[in-house]
Every structure is written in structure tokens, then in C-alpha cells.
Amino acid sequence: HEEGLPGVEVIMTRLHSGAKFSSKSYLYSGGLHGVGVSVVNALSTRLEVQIRRDGIHYEIKFADGECVQKLTEIDRILKRNTGTRIQFWPDPQYFDTDQFNIRKLKRLMLAKAVLCPGLELEYVDEIHPEKSESWLFEEGLGDYLVSMLNGSERVPAESPIIVHRKSDDIQVDCASVWTPEASQIVSESYVNLIPTEAGGTHVNGFRTGITEAVREFCELRNLLPRGIRISTEDVWRHCSFVLSVRVEDPQFSGQAKERLTSKTVGTSLTSVARNAFSLWLNQNVVAAQQISELAIDNARQRERSSRSVKRRKPGIGPALPGKLSDCTSDKVDDTELFLVEGDSAGGSAKQARNRETQAILPLRGKILNTWEVASSEVLGSEEVHSIAVALGVDPCSSRINGLRYGKICILADADADGAHIATLLCALFVKHFPVLVENGKVYVALPPLYRVDAGKQVYYALDDQELEITTAKIRDAKPNVKITVQRFKGLGEMNPSQLKETTMNPDTRRLLQLSIESHSGTESTFNRLLAKKQAADRKAWLSEEGNKAQL
């Protein structure tokens, strides 16, 4: 270092000193700011580092972010004995709790083990030894994917399809397999070893590439029946996969990095997936035909269920809700129903919508908490009855033949009150319309909370964190530009063109698909949030965690 300090001391005490700021040191990295370990040191009462390299054991110590023992040679050791050990003691004055999120920590360690074949990671709990755990996947993604499928029938049966491609600016690794009878689909994605639970452009590009490869295979071998066209969902309905992408300078939405937004990555993934799978399909014809038949069967089912739904005219058939502004298209798969909070927002949504494919149903305030209401009684609520009639599906029905829309989109304000309404609607669908959730029909729209004007450019931010990131990027690019921030008090405050651009236009909006994982603890979470019998538990939880709420 230019000041003569050892590298470990610089990294522990100086912000933005990480090697990942140079592509010569790290081609791919998950961190973006170079402040991680130095912030840990600053927020710890003690931090100690043990370093073993070149046959020497070194030690350096810090207290309250300051170096209290310089890098010291402790002992001579064998040269093959190498590694670094960091111990830290978090300072309670900076944190709401002194407890670590063990579940999240284990999830991250599992991800690292999966994505680094042959690397063994061990979690040791000295207080509760029975909770200790270790992870090792010699074969990496394929090994992990098979273990997650619990012996389900697979296509191909021998081992998952493995893709590994590396170029100057991107590395793609993926394991995928089709499971016709499995009740649980595995779909995990990572960027630079970071789990992207909400997917993103890499997953979309990957799905598109494989769909194109399967379509091409079917067309070349004349497998497609007349009038059948395979969609992306037809191919992916039974597909389980684990996707890992390593790329320079990834762009994420939000500080949590749960969704990748880098557009160039999506384009690259489409090309990589299409080429790799086209080659595999033509080299493994028997398994390829099985995959194609699954997709064709799914397409047939979709065609049957999406046959023309005649839009009811006044006075013909069961009366639709009077507040419903229906769409005109007869193609179910192309249509969307927006459940909108309030008449004011409903009015803006009606002006912003595509009248051919988008229907609007305004809801009056907060709907009934239906989590503990029997499905036989839930239609007693006027709002729930309106939703059921508009959908064409009865509560707790196991069939979706009568479903009138391809997507159901929950659209509420981007504030705490809107989140409450969205939670009540999510509970309604999970509890009383589970068949819609299982078939991937229910979505939550993500309207922005802020509009940012920078000169003639307009940006939108989902929340406070995204606002901070957006304004920082603008100032970096244009230091002298005037920035004006507008906070939307509700959807009704947006004009129709803004609502269309940010929330309703399929090309520019953000939607989250509502799904249930078998081990996700969904029921216990909703019980804690909405069950009357857990009021005491809810109060205790709010007193402990309420300060983390974004209001």
C-alpha cells in the first residue's frame, strides 16, 4: 500500500478499498461498494484476523474500528497450512438485536456450496451443536438439483442437463431437468453467487432461449400437431432448474439484490441457452422427444382452457359486478384483471388500461380478512363475491375451466396501507383460491413510490432504497443536473399515462408472481399476520420487529 500499511489493515479500515474495483483482481463480484468488511469492523467492539500464508501465521486486532495490534508474526507453520479466519463481536449499540438470522445465513452458505463444486462449507453452532450443518456438492448444480427433487421421475432420467459457457464478459452454469409428476418445482437463480429470489433478466433470457430451442426441435422433426404453438409456459411448466450467472457490473433492482435488471445479460442468456439446448436436444433425441411431448401436451391443455370466452352482454347470463370494466378480447391467456384499491385509482386505471386485454375491478377499501373464514361463508362479503364472479371461479374450486382471465393482478398503493390491502388479497387467494396460485395466475403489481425528474429525464423508484440508488447514479452521471423528487401519495395521484408506464404496460411494469413453496412457512406467516388466536404473538413480534417497518 502507498502508505506502507499491510493490505489487511487497509481493507479493514478504509472504505472502497476492495479489490473488486479493479477487473484485474475480480472479474466477477457480488458486492458493489467495497465497504462490507470495513463496515463490519466499524460496527464491532472487537475484530481479529488470523492469516496463514507462505509458512507464517500472522495476527492483527481491531477495537471499535481502530487497529489496536499491528499485523504481527505469531508462528512459523507448514506452507500448505493456509487460510484466513475473521472473528468479530458486533456492537449492540448499533443493532436492534444481537441475534443473527441463522436461516438466512445457512441459505447463503448453501448457495455458495452449490455454486462452488468441491467446496465444503460448515456452520458450527457452539451453543446448540445439533443445529450445526455442513454442505458439499462434488458435482455442483446437478448434484444439488437431484437432491432437491427427492427421487421424482426425471427427464432425462440419467442426470440433469448441464450447461457451462464462458466468454470474456459472462459465465453461465445451469442444471435443468423436467419432472412430469413432481408436486414441487425447483427454480433457483444466482448472479455472482448472490441468490436472485425474484429472478430477473437472466432467468427471462434463459427461459426464452430454451423455449426457442424446443420449438425449433419440434418443427424440424414435425412433432407439432396442426394449430398448436408452444409457449414459454408450456415448456417450463414441469421444468426444474438451478441457474448461475457471473457477470461484470450486474445491475439489480433494490438494495436486497433480489432481481437482476441488466438488459444485456438477458440477451446473452437467450443466445447461450438456445445454442446449448439445441445441441443437446439433437444429440439426445429420445429424451428430447419426451420433453417436446410434455410441452405439446401442456399446449393442448392450454388451448382447451383458453378457448373463446364470450364476454357477457347486459342481460345475458349471470350478472357481472357493476363496477367491473371488462376487456373485449375473447382469448383468456391474453387478458388481465386488475383488482384496484379504491374508486379514484380505479378511474385512473380505466383510462390507462388496454381496453382489449385489461379489465379493472375497483375494490371498496380494505376487504374482509378471510384467513379464518370458511370458504362456504366467504362469499358473504360483497367484495369477495364480486371478485369470484368476475373471475368465474368459486372459492376452493379445484378447476380453472371457467377462469375468465389469464392473469389476476393485485394493484394497491405503494405505502403501508396499500401493503395491508395487498396482504389481505394475497391471503384470500392463498386460502380460498389456491388453484389460481398453483397455476401461476396471481400477481402483485409494484407501483413506484417516487418520481425523479433530472433535467428532461424521468425515473421512477419503487421505495426509499431504490430512490437513494437512482439519485446517486444520476449525480454520478450528471453532477450539475437539478433533481426533483415527487412522492406519490397513492395510485389516484398518478395521471393515467404515468400509471400506464409504471404499472400496466407489460413492457415497462414490474409484477411479482404469487407462489407457494412447500417448505416456505407460508401458512405460519399468514397465521402470525392475520389469525385472531395469534394476537399476542403478533403483538410481541411487532414490539420486536416493528421498528424495521418502512412506513
Q: What confidence tens digit (pLDDT) does each residue in 353-394 have?
A: 999 999 999 987 678 888 888 777 788 888 888 899 999 988
pLDDT at 26 over 50: no
- Alpha-carbon 316 to chain mean position: 42
| DSSP, residue by residue, 124-163 | --SSSGGG-EEE--TTTHHHHHHHHTTT---BSSSS-EEE
- Alpha-carbon 456 to chain mean position: 32
Find out whether 175 and 161 touch, Cβ atoms under 8 Å.
yes
- Residues serving a catalytic function are 341, 413, 415, 417
pLDDT at 22 over 80: no
Confidence of residue 546 (pLDDT cuts 50, 70, 90): low
Pick the CATH number of 141-305 from 3.40.50.620, 2.40.50.140, 3.40.309.10, 3.30.230.10: 3.30.230.10
pLDDT at res. 183: 58
Q: Tell me the pLDDT of the chain averaged across its residues.
A: 84
pLDDT at res. 307: 53
pTM score above 0.85: no
pLDDT at 258 over 90: no
pLDDT at res. 363: 87
User: Exposure string (b/e) for 220-258, b if CB count within 10 Å is 16 or more?
Assistant: eeebbeeebebebbbbbbbbbbbbbbbbeebbbbeeebb
- H/E stretch holding 86: strand 83-90
Residue whose C-alpha is closest to residue 87's, from 46, 123, 127: 46
Confidence of residue 313 (pLDDT cuts 50, 70, 90): very low
Average of per-residue pLDDT across 287-309: 80
The top-scoring range by mean pLDDT among 75-84, 311-320, 473-482 is 75-84
pLDDT at res. 18: 54
List Cα–Cα distances, 103 to 99, 108, 140, 308, in angstroms: 11, 9, 21, 47
Confidence of residue 24 (pLDDT cuts 50, 70, 90): very low
pLDDT at res. 407: 95
Between CA 523 and CA 527 the distance in angstroms is 6
- Ordered by start, the domain boundaries in the chain are 7-95, 141-305, 311-447+488-516, 519-551
Three-class secondary structure of residue 339 per DSSP: strand
The length of the chain, given as a count of residues: 551
Between CA 89 and CA 9 the distance in angstroms is 17
What single-letter DSSP state applies at residue 542? H
Q: Which architecture does CATH list for 7-95?
A: 2-Layer Sandwich (3.30)
Find out whether 242 and 145 touch, Cβ atoms under 8 Å.
yes
CA angle 40, 117, 147 (to 5 degrees): 105
pLDDT at res. 316: 43
Confidence of residue 520 (pLDDT cuts 50, 70, 90): low
Q: Which fold has domain 311-447+488-516?
A: Rossmann fold (3.40.50)
Can you read off the three cell numbers belonging to residue 447?
407501483
Contacts of residue 219, Cβ cutoff 8 Å, sequence gap at least 6:
none
Q: What share of the chain is helix, strand, coil (3-state, %, to 5)?
A: 40, 20, 40
- What percent of the chain has a predicted confidence (pLDDT) above 90? 36
Between CA 183 and CA 205 the distance in angstroms is 25
pLDDT at res. 411: 92
Three-class secondary structure of residue 511 per DSSP: strand
103-152 pLDDT, tens per residue?
888 888 888 888 888 889 999 998 889 989 999 988 889 988 988 887 77
| DSSP, residue by residue, 464-498 | HHHHHHHHHHHHHH-TT--EEEEE-SSGGGS-HHH
85-115 pLDDT, tens per residue?
999 999 988 887 778 888 888 888 888 888 8
